[in-house]
Chain A
Amino acid sequence: MERIKQHKNIIWIGAAIVALIIAGSFIPYFYTLDNLLNVVRQSSVVAICAVGVTMVIIILGIDLSVGGIVSFGAMVCGILMLAGNNIVLCMLAGMAVGLAFGLFNGFMVAKIGVPPFITTLVVGQVAAGLALVLSNGGSIGGFPDSYGFIGNGTFLGVPVSNYIMAAFVIVGSLFMAKTKMGSQIYALGGNETVVRQEGINTNKIKIIVYGISGFCAACGGILLSAQLDTVHPIQGEPYLLDTIAACVIGGVSMMGGEGKIYLALVGALVIGLVRNALNMLGMHPFYQNIIIGAIIIVVVAISVWNKNKKIKESKTF
């Protein structure tokens, strides 16, 4: 019971899932195992991006460069691949680019003191622009089969994408829960002054966290291009909204210091289910964004309202 109280958002996630189950029962094929595995597969890119963004939000930052980096990381990887390079090296190159952009975000925030939303917004635009330049504005595709296997292949009946996503979530969760830096990330989100006074290099932590976020976004982008067998320079764009929605629905506090990566995964799955249900109902993707946006606003409003209520109640004389 205590645990449930601690994560009040679980109740909301539970409610959302119940609502989806009820809604789903009106949609044929919604409940087939294939469809649910497919939902997980479609959520994998969002979930991977959310691993990094969760950490950023925990340290009271925000990463708006996710969309641009998803496109650009994949574009770098794709173009190198079409030039006939080794697939693994191409993927590493794409990831390195994402990491570099993320580290740059962190540097600007930590060392220069630029507000995170400005830095990351601009960096995201630059990354998206570079993706357009690299591909001359068109899309590229026709990648080797082994690359497609990462995105669309299955292993023991489960999509490979799902294993990759699980690996990111597990490593991210362990990092946050069990390592020194993970626990310092939470502390930093709670009270930066205290952390600095303990002799911890807070700038280093910030730069690394933004670096991780950029890296995750690039990995998500590469996975997406493998799933679609194509890279379009603006295909990462929708992933910014979904990633932040996943974090928020997963209960990552916008006030910093609180949030769990596995809950962000649940958030990503909730969005995946909503999108899937809307798709099956034949709703156009444009309208879907409106609904996802409305969900974010409602969830944030409820959590802020709850917090304010708690502050009011805890005030004793």
Chain B
Amino acid sequence: MSETILEMRGITKYIFDSEGIALKNTNVKILDNIDFNLRHGEVHVLMGENGAGKSTLMKILGGIIPPDEGEMVLEGQKTGFKNPMEAKAAGIGFIHQELNLCQNIDVAHNMFLGNEIMKNSVFMDKKEMYQRSAELLARIGCNINPKTIVRNLSTAQQQLVEIAKAMSYHSKILIMDEPTASLSQNEIDILFNLIRDMKGKGISIIYISHRFEELLEIGDRITVLRDGKNSGNMDVADYDYDKLVNMMVGRTLEKMHSCTHIPQEEEVLRVEGLKISEKTKPIHITVKKGEIVGLGGLVGSGRTELAQSIFGARRFPSGKVYYMGERIKKPNPRSSVQKGIAYLSEDRKLDGLVLPMDIRENITLAYLDRFFKNRIISKPREREIAEGEARELNIVCRSIYQLVSTLSGGNQQKVVLAKWLSQMPKLLILDEPTRGIDINAKAEIYKLMDEIAGQGVAILMISSEMPELIGMSDRIYVMRGGTISDEIDKADGITQERILQGALN
């Protein structure tokens, strides 16, 4: 284990404005003078909060975006990639988190896409393509039939296909972006064996992950990014949890998630025997006034479906929903909003915001009724409310007439919050409230959640981020397979291990 295969020096990427022009005169940078090196045959774990710059750094290495400053040295040669093909040709394979395969064609055609084997100048040599695909798959110990349409493969199998594909260009470096995010334990074991195997063949792997137990299992070294800077390296042999968390967060968790609200006794939401689909087991949960209840579990465990069922955005086969002691017979979004239930969806761009509208319109959209006087919108009143909310939430903008599409992720999220808070909800359902936003905006949103809960609002928060789930929740329900697998009270001590146990086993 030994010499360096790749060095990235002083990589800098500036933030850019809505026209894509780099803004060099600000203190905020996406990547700030990052040094990163990779040795032959090591598994180098790249960690950091969402928005810390991991993906951007890897996109630069993979030739997907260019750096503004800095240089890359690959096997002693200075290099730079103009596009993903050049990076690939240089031996850098990239397994993206959202898999890069065409779902509608078969495995072999995917593996040789753009690189088809020809029989003559007109026709492809399909037989050869199937045979070579089978060989490449066999080399990584996988016996998928190359004639299978990719859609019919599991996520794990698709990942194996991508790895086999990357190996077919003789990759020396393999970037894996959160490969285990949607795999079962069994599939993870298969993947890890494969990674060890590749490591043994001298292939270097950059492994992006949030999971501490994974880095201990397969990592050799760790690099942590924070707010676009390299905040430290560590050999896994010298692993120290506290030091690592400190590198990642830069402040202690308690401070970031400091909570002053106190849950009250009165129940705001009670769900009895709700089944999110015919085949899943019934769910019972409660949320009290002024309480933040976390909903943990893996992506796809049914958390969003549960939230949507309560809010009425999704039909469910059976079960009862009680709100403020009264049963809601058939929840639907319109009556839920009127009753004071607010739902912040997982993907704010998809259904939380109207991007081509301005901040004011977005904030007041959900309850326009209040500004109607004789069927005409009262503009002054609308402006007054929107300005008040924008000020209170510290939304960074030129004016409330700025288009939402031009705001940063964190500020967009605040607009969504403002939109719902302006109607004084009694129950707030948050689905991944801090996904993809920077650490400062996160801290502000946490503070805001604490304040809202302090005012007596009941909050049900879906989250995949452990520190957030542990730091903010008074109680946590863990979901698995479409139902609740565990309930953990803050008083009993919430630990990452216990949440994972509930989510995985």
Interface-forming stretch among A35-43, A81-89, A144-152, A176-184?
A176-184
Closest residue of chain B to A183, judged by CB? B109
Closest residue of chain A to B277, judged by CB? A317
| Contact across chains for A257 and B280 when beta carbons are under 8 A apart | no
| Contact across chains for A195 and B277 when beta carbons are under 8 A apart | no
Q: Out of B64, B103, B114, B481, which one reaches A198, CB within 8 Å?
A: B114
* Size class of the A contact interface (CB-based, 8 Å): 20 to 34
Smallest beta-carbon distance B123→chain A, Å: 5
CA distance A87 to B37 in the complex (A): 70
Closest residue of chain B to A317, judged by CB? B482
B279: which A residues are within 8 A, CB to CB? Answer: 317
Find the residue from A186, A190, A200 having the highest chain B CB count within 10 A. A190
Q: Is A258 an interface residue (CB 8 A)?
A: yes
Contact string against A for B residues 275-302, beta-carbon threshold 8 Å, 1 for contact and 0 otherwise: 0110110000000000000000000111
Residues facing A in B97-125 (CB within 8 A) are: 100-105, 109-110, 113-116, 118, 122-124
Find the residue from B101, B105, B118, B277 having the highest chain A CB count within 10 A. B105
| Contact across chains for B122 and A179 when beta carbons are under 8 A apart | yes
| Contact across chains for B124 and A199 when beta carbons are under 8 A apart | no
| Contact across chains for B276 and A190 when beta carbons are under 8 A apart | no
A256: which B residues are within 8 A, CB to CB? Answer: 104
A139: which B residues are within 8 A, CB to CB? Answer: none
Residues facing B in A171-209 (CB within 8 A) are: 174, 178-180, 183-184, 186-187, 189-191, 193-195, 197-200
| Contact across chains for B124 and A200 when beta carbons are under 8 A apart | no
Q: Is B85 an interface residue (CB 8 A)?
A: yes
A193: which B residues are within 8 A, CB to CB? Answer: 100
| Contact across chains for B122 and A199 when beta carbons are under 8 A apart | no
CA distance A193 to B100 in the complex (A): 8
Q: A180-B124, A317-B481 are in contact. Are A194 and B100 (CB under 8 A)?
A: yes
Q: Is A315 an interface residue (CB 8 A)?
A: yes
Residues facing A in B216-249 (CB within 8 A) are: none
A180: which B residues are within 8 A, CB to CB? Answer: 116, 118, 124
Q: Is B381 an interface residue (CB 8 A)?
A: no
CA distance A317 to B110 in the complex (A): 28
Contact string against B for A residues 227-262, beta-carbon threshold 8 Å, 1 for contact and 0 otherwise: 000000000000000000000000000001110000
B123: which A residues are within 8 A, CB to CB? Answer: 174, 178-179
A315: which B residues are within 8 A, CB to CB? Answer: 277
CA distance A178 to B114 in the complex (A): 14
| Contact across chains for B102 and A195 when beta carbons are under 8 A apart | yes
Q: Is B496 an interface residue (CB 8 A)?
A: no
Q: Is B84 an interface residue (CB 8 A)?
A: yes
A174: which B residues are within 8 A, CB to CB? Answer: 123
B113: which A residues are within 8 A, CB to CB? Answer: 183-184, 187, 194-195, 198, 200
Find the residue from B84, B102, B276 having the highest chain A CB count within 10 A. B102
CA distance A197 to B84 in the complex (A): 6
CA distance A180 to B481 in the complex (A): 42
B399: which A residues are within 8 A, CB to CB? Answer: none
CA distance A129 to B249 in the complex (A): 67
A198: which B residues are within 8 A, CB to CB? Answer: 85, 113-115
Q: A179-B123, A183-B124 are in contact. Are A199 and B276 (CB under 8 A)?
A: no
Closest residue of chain A to B483, judged by CB? A317
CA distance A258 to B106 in the complex (A): 12
Smallest beta-carbon distance B185→chain A, Å: 16
| Contact across chains for A183 and B116 when beta carbons are under 8 A apart | yes
Q: Is B78 an interface residue (CB 8 A)?
A: no
CA distance A193 to B98 in the complex (A): 12
Q: A186-B104, A190-B104 are in contact. Are A317 and B302 (CB under 8 A)?
A: yes
CA distance A190 to B100 in the complex (A): 11
Q: Out of B85, B105, B109, B301, which one reaches A317, CB within 8 Å?
A: B301
A178: which B residues are within 8 A, CB to CB? Answer: 122-124, 126
Q: Is B394 an interface residue (CB 8 A)?
A: no
Smallest beta-carbon distance A259→chain B, Å: 10
Q: Is B83 an interface residue (CB 8 A)?
A: yes
| Contact across chains for B100 and A197 when beta carbons are under 8 A apart | yes
CA distance A195 to B115 in the complex (A): 11
Contact string against A for B residues 471-496, beta-carbon threshold 8 Å, 1 for contact and 0 otherwise: 00000000001110000000000000
Residues facing A in B57-113 (CB within 8 A) are: 64, 83-85, 100-105, 109-110, 113
Find the residue from A186, A189, A198 having the highest chain B CB count within 10 A. A198
CA distance A186 to B116 in the complex (A): 14
B110: which A residues are within 8 A, CB to CB? Answer: 187
| Contact across chains for A186 and B115 when beta carbons are under 8 A apart | no
Q: A180-B118, A200-B113 are in contact. Are A194 and B277 (CB under 8 A)?
A: no
| Contact across chains for A200 and B114 when beta carbons are under 8 A apart | yes
Smallest beta-carbon distance A39→chain B, Å: 33
Q: A183-B105, A258-B104, A317-B276 are in contact. Are A199 and B116 (CB under 8 A)?
A: no
Q: A178-B123, A195-B113, A317-B302 are in contact. Are A187 and B102 (CB under 8 A)?
A: yes
CA distance A199 to B116 in the complex (A): 12
Q: A183-B116, A200-B114 are in contact. Are A190 and B105 (CB under 8 A)?
A: yes
A200: which B residues are within 8 A, CB to CB? Answer: 113-114
B280: which A residues are within 8 A, CB to CB? Answer: 317
B116: which A residues are within 8 A, CB to CB? Answer: 180, 183
CA distance A198 to B110 in the complex (A): 10
Closest residue of chain B to A199, judged by CB? B85
CA distance A179 to B301 in the complex (A): 42
A257: which B residues are within 8 A, CB to CB? Answer: 102-105
Q: Out of A184, A189, A199, A317, which one reaches B104, CB within 8 Å?
A: A189
Q: A199-B114, A317-B301 are in contact. Are A186 and B105 (CB under 8 A)?
A: yes
CA distance A317 to B109 in the complex (A): 30
Smallest beta-carbon distance A221→chain B, Å: 28
CA distance A60 to B305 in the complex (A): 30
CA distance A189 to B110 in the complex (A): 13
Smallest beta-carbon distance B317→chain A, Å: 12
CA distance A183 to B107 in the complex (A): 12
Closest residue of chain A to B129, judged by CB? A183
* Cβ contacts A to B, 14 pairs, < 8 Å: A178-B124, A183-B124, A187-B102, A190-B105, A191-B103, A191-B104, A193-B100, A194-B113, A195-B102, A197-B84, A198-B85, A198-B115, A257-B104, A317-B279
* Known contacts A191-B103, A197-B64, A197-B84, then 17 further A-B pairs from the complex at CB < 8 Å, ordered by chain A residue: A174-B123, A178-B123, A183-B109, A183-B116, A183-B124, A184-B114, A186-B104, A190-B105, A194-B113, A198-B85, A198-B114, A199-B85, A257-B103, A317-B279, A317-B300, A317-B481, A317-B483
- 9 tightest A-B CB contacts, nearest first: A317-B482, A198-B114, A190-B102, A257-B104, A190-B104, A199-B85, A187-B102, A180-B116, A178-B123
